[in-house]
Chain A
C-alpha cells in the first residue's frame, strides 16, 4: 500500500521526463528506418523490419532504464524531497521498492508504446499482427527490469553520470559475456579455466533474454530455455535489489 503510493508518484513524475520522449522518438525513427531499409533489399523484407525493430526496442528500452534509473534516488537526495518522505512511517526498503516499481511501470508503458508502433509498421507491410513478437518483447521487458535494478543500485551511492557509465558497462558486458562460454570450452583445464568460469558465473549474461533471432526466424525454442531464462532473471534481479536495499539502508542523507 505504501509502496504503491510511492510507485504511483514515481510514475507520475517519471512519465513527464523529456528524456523518455526523445528516446521514444529515436526508437520510432529506427523502426520506420527499418521499413525503408526493407524496401531497398531483396529477400524476406518482413524479417528485416522485425530484426531491426526488436533490436531498437531492446536498445532504447535499456537506454531509458539507464537514464531514468540512475537519476531516481539521486534526484530525491539532491532536491531533499527524501527528507520528509523518510520521516514518515515507512521503511527505507519500502521507499526504494516504490521507486523501483514506479520506474518499471513507466518503462512498461514506454515499451508498450514502442511495441504498438513496431507492430503497426509490420501490419502495414503484411496486414497481419505478428503476435509471436510479444514473446521476444516480453523478454526484452525482463531485461529492462533487470537493468533498472542495476541502475537503481548504482544511483544509491554515486552521481547520475558515474552510475550511467557503470550501468552502460553492465549492459555491454551483459551482452558480450556469452563469448566467455566459448572461451571456457577451448581452454585446457587448470587455473585459467576455473577463473574464466568464475567470471562468467558472476558476470551478467543478458543474452539469456535474447530471443530475437529465434522468434524472427521461427526457430523452435525448447521450454526449458524459457524456464532457465526466467529463473536466471528472477535470481539476478532479486540479488541486485537486495544489494541496493542494503546500500540504501546504510547510507546517510547529509
Chain B
C-alpha cells in the first residue's frame, strides 16, 4: 500500500505569553496514511490535532520533521491540487453567496466555468444546500457553514481529503449524512484523514487510527488490533422478579418501579438470569452485550499517559 500522506518526526512549538516562552505542541509526530483508507486522528482537546493538520496544509512551518503527500513535498502546488481541506469551525467570505463562493474557489483550481457550474450543482446537492445556494454565507448557521466547507473541500475531486472535526456542529441527521459521504468518498477510491475527539462518531468508519495525547502519538494501528471484540459486560433489563433473587449474579445499576438494570460481568451469569426470569414468568426487556470500544481504550490510555 503506497503512502498517500507520510509525516516523519514532526516538531512544532508556539511562542506564548509576554516573554514569548516556547511551548512544545508537537513532540515528534510520525504517521503514515495508505491509499484508499479512512484514517482517524484521535485525541482529547488540545492534544495537537489541528496543529498537525495545519502543518500538513502548510499554514504552519514546523521546526523539524518531514511531510510528504503523494511522495512529493506537501508544499508543492502539484500536491495541493490533489488535496481537499475542511478546517475546524470553518468560516468563509460572508459577503458571497454559496454559489459565488464555490465559483471563486473553483477559479483557484483553474476549473472552466461550464465545468465548474455542473460540479458545484452536484456538490450542493451532496451536502444538502441546493435551496440555500443563493443565500449569503453570513446568513448560514454553524452546521450549514460546515456543509459548505465540505463542498469547497471536494471542488477539485481530491485524492486526499483532510477533515478537521468534520462532525462538529452537525445535528444527528447531519452526522449520519456526513459519515455516509465519507464512506462514499472511500468507495470512490479517495483517502480520508479525519480528526475527532468523539470516538463513537468515527470508530464505525475508520480503517486505521492514530491516538495523539499531549503532542505525542501513543498508539497507531488498525481498529480491530486496538480494540478487541471481547464482551466486557452485558446489560440486562428485566421485570417480574425480585432483585434479591438475582443478587450475586450482577451489579444493580438502576431500579425503576418495575424494571431493573443489571450489569453482568460473566456470560454464564447472563444465561442464569434469563432462565430465572423465564421460570418466574417475568420479562426480559433488553439484553445488550458491550464490547470494548475505542472510548474505553482512550480513557485507559489517557489515564496511563
Q: Does A18 contact B (CB under 8 A)?
A: no
Spot the interface stretch: B85-93, B230-238, B273-281, B294-302. Answer: B85-93
- Taking a contact as CB atoms under 8 Å apart, the answer to whether B77 and A13 are in contact is no
- Taking a contact as CB atoms under 8 Å apart, the answer to whether A2 and B107 are in contact is yes
Given the contacts A9-B93, A13-B95, A252-B60, A88 and B110 also touching, CB distance less than 8 Å: no
Spot the interface stretch: A41-49, A75-83, A171-179. Answer: A75-83
* Residues 64-80 of chain B, each 1 if its beta carbon lies under 8 Å from chain A, else 0: 00000000000001101
Between A12, A13, A88, A253, the greatest number of chain B beta carbons within 10 A of the residue's beta carbon is seen for A88
Q: Does B20 contact A (CB under 8 A)?
A: no
- Taking a contact as CB atoms under 8 Å apart, the answer to whether B77 and A86 are in contact is no
Bound-state Cα–Cα, A1 to B109, Å: 10
- Taking a contact as CB atoms under 8 Å apart, the answer to whether A253 and B54 are in contact is yes
Partner of A85, one of B61, B77, B108: B108
Total B residues in contact with A, Cβ cutoff 8 Å: 31
Bound-state Cα–Cα, A81 to B85, Å: 12
- Residues facing A in B87-127 (CB within 8 A) are 87, 89-93, 95-96, 104-105, 107-110
User: What is the CB-to-nearest-CB distance from A82 to chain B, in angstroms, rounded to a whole number?
Assistant: 8
- Taking a contact as CB atoms under 8 Å apart, the answer to whether A89 and B109 are in contact is yes
Q: Which residue of B lies closest to A94 (CB)?
A: B108
Q: Which residue of B lies closest to A13 (CB)?
A: B95
Between A12, A79, A87, A91, the greatest number of chain B beta carbons within 10 A of the residue's beta carbon is seen for A87
Q: Which residue of B lies closest to A2 (CB)?
A: B108
Partner of A13, one of B90, B93, B149, B153: B93
- Taking a contact as CB atoms under 8 Å apart, the answer to whether A81 and B91 are in contact is yes
Partner of A86, one of B59, B90, B93, B107: B59
- Taking a contact as CB atoms under 8 Å apart, the answer to whether B92 and A254 are in contact is no
Q: Does A217 contact B (CB under 8 A)?
A: no
Q: Which residue of A lies closest to B86 (CB)?
A: A84
Please give the residue numbers on chain A whose beta carbons come within 8 Å of chain B beta carbons, in ascending order. 1-2, 5-6, 9, 12-13, 16, 79-91, 250, 252-254
